[in-house]
Amino acid sequence: MTLVHSQKKRVILLMVDTLMDSSLQAALNTGNVPAFQFFIEKGCYFPDVVSPFPTMSVTVDSTLLTGVYSDKHKVPGLVWYNQKEKRIVNYGSHVRELIKLGLKQSMGDVFFNLNHIHLNKQHKTIHEILHDEGIQTSSINALLYKGSNPNVLKTPFLLSMVTGMNKKIEVQSPDLHSYGAFRCLNPVKKYSFSWQKYGFNDKFSANEVGYLINQNKLPPLTITYFPDLDQSVHKNGRTDIKGIQKVDKQLQKILNQYPSWDEALSNNIWIISGDNGQAWISSNKKDALIDLRDLLNSYRIGVLKKGVTSQDEIILCVNERMSFIYTLDDQKAPLQEIAKVLQNDHRIDVIAIKNEKSVTVTSGIHEGHLHFHPEGEYADEYEQSWFLEGNTEILDLSLTNKTVKYGDYPDALARLYSSFFSHEGEYLIVSAKPGHEFIGEGSPTHIGGASHGGLHKEDSFVSMIVCGTSSTPKHLRIIDFKDWLLSLVQESYHSK
């Protein structure tokens, strides 16, 4: 016989956008983040969990829910080119680009297509798997939430009027689903904080978690997304303290729903994790920004407002510190030729092209090339085997007795390789050296602050705090979270 619902330990995963060691340590040194301090003292702290690539929230969250990289879940990045539909998909890089692409189409991509069309249905999400087992889950403010229950999102009136979005959007969501002003669990606080990014903010997220706790409605698994820290780090840099302190206040509100903070721990397993890190960006604008339009001005580059035309030779899809560069005409714009142009820029540390089942990596920093593909004589710490040939310095790999050790680019081989099988098209991938980011037509810039998307460890390492269990993922990677969370929930739910 299973334990009654109230006696089981629930699993609460709080995903804090851009939670990383550099800013967390800076904030802890102030002594002004009591909730973070409490969780760390009572649990285990891991400063170097590896994020998927590109290090953008939509790709990270897709991996979190499905337990696979983008070659299988099929959400390539924040911005990518859909070859079948001959258009750029953009889930929200900057409003300038969304307007140029068409707000109605862009909003459709963000609020429906991401979860229900682009995310590969062949790989069930953790919500769908637990639903099949009769176990409830909740998702609060997470961009990726695909579940098994038919639900309706109600588009806020002003947003519907400005963008042309449908007033009601039929979706498949978890048992308990909160999604900003579109769908709210707490009826009393329905409109609170809605004007701040339509409810996609930390206050709203904390309020919804607090409501579930207060009403004794926490299901066996709750995934909650806290988005605000990301923008603070973008602006203030990798050692931003104010953003961490603001998150801490929301964590305090959640803990205060219990008679004591210790009781909050005894009732639940708490996991607080970042999704991606951020690399520093130079304050020298000319040096910081890598304008791909200037570097590749000898080719006809697609213009956002015009859409993709028959005259276009290449398409740029900028994901901050990483970019996909597509050729639409391999005769006039061969990828090998484009790669050679990019190798002249010392700010680009990774330039990669796929050749059938193999990937070739060059660099604006190192000479030579590196060829690699899966299933070879070299093994890495994640139990993955690789064929390697060429200059391993390009990806900062150390080889000892057929063992691969990663340096500045954690899990680089699997993360980079998966990106080349995430969607159709002929493209190369570039990642910028810390200090720099790519720009296209209307890309956001973060001069003197920080940015992400790249393969480097500054973009890739996130912090994680675990309380209430000695269990950890098989490897310290977000791709390993799904199986770990399933085991935690199932063990608690089926315990006798």
Report pLDDT digits (tens) over 305-325.
Answer: 888 899 999 999 999 999 999
- 148, 41: one domain: yes
pLDDT tier for residue 2 given thresholds of 50, 70 and 90 = very low
pLDDT above 50: residue 3: no
Residue 98 lies in a domain: no
- 68, 213: one domain: yes
- 399, 416: one domain: yes
Is residue 393 within 8 A of residue 311, CB to CB? The reply is no
**What is the C-alpha R_g of the chain?**
22
Instruction: Count Cβ atoms below 10 Å from residue 117 Cβ, excluding itself.
Output: 12
- 179, 49: one domain: yes
- 275, 303: one domain: no
Residue 347 lies in a domain: yes
- 407, 460: one domain: no
**Which CATH number goes with the domain that contains 219?**
3.40.720.10
Residue 107 lies in a domain: no
* Higher pLDDT pick, 158 / 278: 278
The neighbouring-strand residues paired with 405 are 398
Tell me the pairing of strands 403-406 and 358-362: unpaired
Residue 96 lies in a domain: no
What is the count of structural domains for the chain?
Answer: 2
Tokens (6 digits) for 156: 């806020």
Residue 109 lies in a domain: no
- Predicted TM-score (pTM) of the model is 0.94
Across all residues in the chain, what is the average pLDDT?
A: 92
* Higher pLDDT pick, 204 / 180: 204
pLDDT at res. 7 = 52
- 38, 171: one domain: yes
- 256, 350: one domain: no
pLDDT above 70: residue 24: yes
pLDDT tens across 76-86, in order?
Answer: 999 999 999 99
- 205, 307: one domain: no
- 18, 142: one domain: yes
pLDDT tens across 429-462, in order?
Answer: 999 999 999 998 888 899 999 999 999 999 999 9
Find the domain containing 432 and state its range. Answer: 285-448
- 42, 154: one domain: yes
- 162, 48: one domain: yes
Residue 90 lies in a domain: no
Residue 253 lies in a domain: yes
Region 419-435: mean pLDDT is 97
Of 429, 448, 467, the position where a domain reaches its end is: 448
Residue 327 lies in a domain: yes
